[in-house]
Structure 1
Amino acid sequence: MRQRNKPWAKDMLAENPQYVIASPESNKGKWREYFGNDHPIHIEIGTGKGRFITGMAKQNPEINYIGIELAESVIVSALELIIEEELPNVKLMNINAEDLRDIFAKNETNRVYLNFSDPWPKKRHAKRRLTYKNFLSLYEDILPEKGEIHFKTDNQGLFEYSLTSFSEYGMLLTYVSLDLHKSEYEGNIMTEYEEKFSKKGSRIFRCEVQYR
């Protein structure tokens, strides 16, 4: 989906260093020091307009959250929401997820969230999917032993591909739902896409996986 250009976005991101981390690589190995506590750090890759991560931060004040989004015109909406909610335990990074190894050391994050990632449906684009083996290796390098990935999508093809990818990588599936909104799962925070798709009758697929 093409995003509307917001020429003022870059300036707004720069004007809010209390929420937007301008040089995240300088915190590698020092993220607990950056947050000023020893709380777990959960990251969302592709944070979009921020509804999920702000909801999680409000629900879990004892956890630090970092939202990662490449598009300035999108992440600025998340920033507006965080400013409105005045949440001290959520920060944003306007970066490419491929650079995570330059930003986090091993054991510095505790969980990765992937919500409604681009499915890249063409076979030749499989390497771009955030559940492709190269990305799974990347997450493993910044998570602790038995670190977790929580994954949600409305795209059945991507979900099936991801379950296979997780399994082939040797990960443990600890939770799988083929229709999240009709399951007994509690505490779900909907993303903007999730609400849109579910209103149209689309099933929401969700799983939790763990590195061995």
Structure 2
Amino acid sequence: MRIRKKKWARPELAACPFYLDAPQEAAGGWAARFARPGQLLHLDLGCGKCTFLAALAHREQGVNFIGVDISEDILGVARRNIEAEFDGEPVENIALLAFNIEKLDTLFAPQEKAARIYVNFCNPWQKAGDHKRRLTHTRQLETYKKVLAPGGELWFKTDNMDLYLATQRYLREAGFEIVCKTEDLHAENAPDNIESEHEVMFTAQGIRTKAIIARLPEEKSGVEIP
């Protein structure tokens, strides 16, 4: 889906204290970017308008979050949603950045590890020739393994059954352990679930949310979660 240009997005992001316009320079110093540097780090990849990330970060103040999306236009909307959710409170546990997720590992020094990665309602890339562009494809999971701590988790949600099934295969190929999965998240007892903007939309259309939680075994990475 094409994102409509928003002339106000870049000026607002430039003035935003939790937006990084040169994220590569943060490698090796991510902890210092947050008010509470010793906290666990979670990544929201393809964070979009950040209704999910805003609510999650506001609720989980003991975790630091990095939201990544390719579009500055959509991150402009995300900034507004985050500030609306925090409603005047300082935003101290979020960093937003526009970056190509395929190169995610270049943003972190070898010792910097995330405890969890979220991928919510990413593009399913239906054509066979485009499958490698999926954010849960085996090739992409190999990149995530470089930034996940041993025992780190990937939390995935989608409306697309084909992608849900394929992602299970991708996870196994990449050496992840599937901890739990469901074809209807809202039918499960999941009181802590936070809905993204796409989840709200698809649920209203009667489309079930499929979800997977997968874990990286301890031996797949070299740094423990603090």
TM-score range normalised by the length of the shorter chain: over 0.9
1:91 aligns with 2:95: yes
- Cα deviation, residue 30, structure 1: 1.6
Q: List per-residue Cα deviations over 1:117-165 (Å, max 9, x = no partner).
A: 0000000001100111111111000111121100000000100000111
- Cα deviation, residue 66, structure 1: 1.0
Misfit runs of 4+, over 6 Å: none
DSSP-derived class of the 1:203 partner:
coil
Measure, in 2, the Cα distance between the counterparts of 1:205 and 1:105. Answer: 33
Q: Which residue of 1 aligns with 2:104?
A: 100
Q: Where does the alignment leave 5 or more consecutive residues of structure 1 unmatched?
A: none
DSSP-derived class of the 2:57 partner:
helix
DSSP-derived class of the 2:151 partner:
coil
Instruction: Report if aligned partners of 1:29, 1:108 keep a CA contact under 8 Å in 2.
Output: no
Describe how 1:27-176 pairs up with structure 2 within 5 A.
27-36=26-35, 37-84=37-84, 85=86, 86=89, 87-106=91-110, 107-176=112-181
Q: Of residues 183, 195, 204 in structure 2, which corresponds to 1:178? A: 183
Count matched residues: 211
Measure, in 2, the Cα distance between the counterparts of 1:151 and 1:104. Answer: 22
Higher strand proportion (structure 1 or 2) = 2
DSSP-derived class of the 1:5 partner:
coil
DSSP-derived class of the 1:131 partner:
coil
TM superposition score normalised by structure 1:
0.95
Q: Where does the alignment leave 5 or more consecutive residues of structure 2 unmatched?
A: 218-226
